[in-house]
Amino acid sequence: MDTTSSTDHAQRPSHSTGAAIVTGGFASTLVLWSAWFVTHLPWLKLDEQVALPITLLCWALALTWTGWRTGSTRGAVVGAGAGLIAACAGLLILGSKLTTSANATAMDGASVRPNALMMAAGFLALGIGLGAICGAVGGLLAGTRQRAMTLATFAIVAVCAIAPLVFIGGLVTSTNSGMAVPDWPNTFGTNMFLYPLGPRVSPDIFFEHSHRLFGTLVGLTTLVLLIWTLRSREHRSVRPWVIGLFALIVAQGILGGLRVQLGSAEAASDNRWLSMLHGIKGQLVFALAVVVAVLLVPAYRATVAMMHSSTPLSDARKLRFFATAAFHSTILQLVFGALYRHTRSDHALWTHAAFAIIVATFALLAGFAASNLGKTDNQEGEDAGLRAGTSMVSIMQRIGIALVVVVGLQFTLGWATFLIGGRTLQAASPAQALLRTAHQANGAAMLGLLTALFLMARVMSPKRAQEA
């Protein structure tokens, strides 16, 4: 099989202006939303005169990156299109500025401002203009060189879109804000996209409502990923994975809403077990998104084809064992951690702490094995051909280094959370909440790295080769 031609064929859509606009648009949307969330944190109490320029600067940098990826010949056009997409998606959070309410927690809805349509139209025009300017600047910085904007690139954007949702969900748990908004899908009787959310709202409402908004962004992103994958004839084998990912994300949103509705209808104002299931499932959805991204990466696809006729690297079998053990033990550790976060059971705490030693050991062994992959092999022969034909080994080496760093950070955060993170269900201070959430979010990053390494290790050391 000619893997070079198949790889080139898979990369042809990267030169499509439409693909670049969609990918750059959603990447810019993610940056815009994340900057909005940080600058509007009630804990920071930033004035709009400070928050707005920071948000616009982050948006401009993302659009500049889009132009840099596409080159000087299309930078302005792609940037304008990406800016329009980001502005359209941004209307979902701009809606909080289009309404006003005397009592944001009253179940009577909010009133739309008289100039709301003009504000929305102006925001769309801003997106197009800012995108065209920043895209042109980015294109000039890149010159004539064009970088791939493929379905695989968009899948990576989808993974990145889930990451802040996991983090905000962790803040909801750390601050015990899961029932701060008593209705769903509305927010205090107002359409969730028109609720007047801002830095003056109470932190628990801000986190819970922001979690819903970012869940919408993830749903929209994975919907585009699903449509794009179904339209692609080169990625038919990935379609079941993407369909499953989208279905799980929809189910995740329904599960979160069900928890709110059950909590409102029952005397007990909360349901810890549904909350725990929602948290565990969220991280597993993140891992599944990583699976989809890896399956779409051209280096992975090329390696799958080449391994039918190439000799595996001599140390790939050891990596496969460590990566498999680390991946599965991390999932089990995730359950122990979620059990403690949602119940504060001492038994769950000590089980989680003790099992962390096993997880860290396997993860470090997998990280070191990946970072040294291929370095002991002869540079000639079929192994050298494998390295020349794909960048998979170098990708795995970088993942291995990142995994070692993340494991060390996770172990440190875990002990810091144990010593100063507090033992009560609700964090006593913003510092405690951020520490707990950092430990949870870094654990998700660790799971994502192990998921990618687990998949790649299975390809680099297939059972067929082991049994031969």
Q: H/E/C letters for each residue in 237-280?
A: HHHHHHHHHHHHHHHHHHHHHHHHHHHHHCCCCCCHHHHHHHHH
What is the pLDDT, as a whole number, of residue 389?
39
Residue 84 clears pLDDT 90, i.e. is over it: yes
Q: For residue 111, give both structure tokens.
A: 């009133």
Q: Other CB atoms closer than 10 Å to residue 335's CB: what's the count?
A: 15
Residue 440 clears pLDDT 50, i.e. is over it: yes
Half-sphere exposure of 399 (CA within 13 A, CB side): 28
Could you state, in order of their start, the residue ranges of all structural domains in the chain?
Answer: 310-468
What is the pLDDT, as a whole number, of residue 314?
66
Q: In the predicted model, what is the mean pLDDT of residues 326-355?
A: 92
What is the pLDDT, as a whole number, of residue 193?
87
pTM: 0.89
pLDDT band at 65 (very low <50, low <70, confident <90, very high): very high
Q: Phi/psi at 258 (nearest 5 deg)?
A: -65, -40
Torsion sign across C-alpha atoms 70, 76, 78, 84: positive
Torsion sign across C-alpha atoms 445, 32, 395, 301: positive
CA-nearest of 348, 219, 213, 221 to 276 is: 348
CA–CA distance, 307 with 126 (Å, rounded to integer) = 49
Instruction: Look at the block and give the residue holding tokens 């760093």.
Output: 405
pLDDT band at 308 (very low <50, low <70, confident <90, very high): low
Least confident of 133-142, 210-219, 367-376: 367-376
Q: In the predicted model, what is the mean pLDDT of residues 290-300?
A: 91
Give 186-198 pLDDT, tens digit per residue: 888 888 888 887 7
Residue 309 clears pLDDT 60, i.e. is over it: no
CA–CA distance, 68 with 60 (Å, rounded to integer) = 12
CA–CA distance, 67 with 83 (Å, rounded to integer) = 11
pLDDT band at 178 (very low <50, low <70, confident <90, very high): confident
Residue 55 clears pLDDT 70, i.e. is over it: yes
Angle at the Cα of 427 (from 423 to 430), degrees rounded to 5?
140
Least confident of 3-17, 202-216, 228-242, 285-299: 3-17
Least confident of 164-173, 181-190, 228-237: 181-190
**310-468, CATH topology level:** Four Helix Bundle (Hemerythrin (Met), subunit A) (1.20.120)
pLDDT band at 260 (very low <50, low <70, confident <90, very high): confident
Instruction: Look at the block and give the residue holding tokens 């660790």.
Output: 446
pLDDT band at 200 (very low <50, low <70, confident <90, very high): confident
What is the pLDDT, as a whole number, of residue 391?
78
Grouping H, G, I as helix, E, B as strand and the rest as coil, residue 154 is helix
230-269 exposure pattern, b = at least 16 Cβ within 10 A, e = fewer: eebebbeebeebbeebbebbeebbebbeebbeebeeeeee
Give 89-100 pLDDT, tens digit per residue: 999 888 777 777
pLDDT band at 105 (very low <50, low <70, confident <90, very high): low
CB of 207 closer than 8 Å to CB of 168? yes
Percent of the chain at pLDDT above 70?
85
Angle at the Cα of 82 (from 78 to 87), degrees rounded to 5?
150
End-to-end Cα, the chain, rounded Å: 22
CB of 90 closer than 8 Å to CB of 58? no
Angle at the Cα of 110 (from 109 to 113), degrees rounded to 5?
155
CA–CA distance, 392 with 459 (Å, rounded to integer) = 10
Residue 86 clears pLDDT 90, i.e. is over it: yes
CA–CA distance, 154 with 165 (Å, rounded to integer) = 17
Instruction: Look at the block and give the residue holding tokens 């994502």.
Output: 448
Residue 216 clears pLDDT 80, i.e. is over it: yes
pLDDT band at 53 (very low <50, low <70, confident <90, very high): very high
CB of 171 closer than 8 Å to CB of 437? yes
Q: How far from 243 is each of 49, 254, 329, CA to CA, in Å?
A: 43, 17, 26
The β-bridge partners of 100 are 111
Residue 102 clears pLDDT 70, i.e. is over it: no
Q: For residue 44, give both structure tokens.
A: 């920071």
Residue 8 clears pLDDT 70, i.e. is over it: no
Q: In the predicted model, what is the mean pLDDT of residues 395-423?
A: 92
What is the pLDDT, as a whole number, of residue 7?
39
Residue 467 clears pLDDT 60, i.e. is over it: no
Residue 12 clears pLDDT 50, i.e. is over it: no
CA–CA distance, 288 with 452 (Å, rounded to integer) = 10
Percent of the chain at pLDDT above 90?
54
